[in-house]
Structure 1
Amino acid sequence: MKFRNLAAAAAAVSMATAPAVAAPVSRDAAPAEADSELGGSGVILGILAAALVIAGIIIAVDGGDDDPISA
């Protein structure tokens, strides 16, 4: 992978994660009367989304400079 591709991928990742690491705002949560029925964890979805973003960047930056093989 060329350095310019690596730099482009790093720039794309930093732009994608910038809103997520913005300055924290102190907000009080409203009291919940009952637990959610959906359950689950947002952490797993966040990790999966980050992996998909990174995989998309790698695929986009690949370059496709492979020579076609023909007989």
Structure 2
Amino acid sequence: MKFRNVLAATAALSLAAAPAVAEASFARTAAPVEGESEAGGSGIVIGILAAAALIGGIIIAAGGSDNDPVSA
């Protein structure tokens, strides 16, 4: 019975404190950057490969097939 009262008090306290915690502002600062990334142009290469794979998939999917039905 006492455990239920402790849980109810904890829930009430958390509900009462929630607006104050939500209103607090936590200022974030950016970490200093010492140098540029070593993988400078790899994004372009990956984009070109993805586009080639997409175009290849479309060509394979739309390729004409000679699967004409044969009636006996």
**TM exceeding 0.5:** no
Q: TM-score of the superposition, structure 2-length normalised? A: 0.38
Q: TM-score of the superposition, structure 1-length normalised? A: 0.38
Q: Which has the higher contact order (CA 8 A, sep 6+)?
A: 1
Whichever of the two has the greater Rg, that structure is 2
Q: Which has the higher helix share?
A: 2
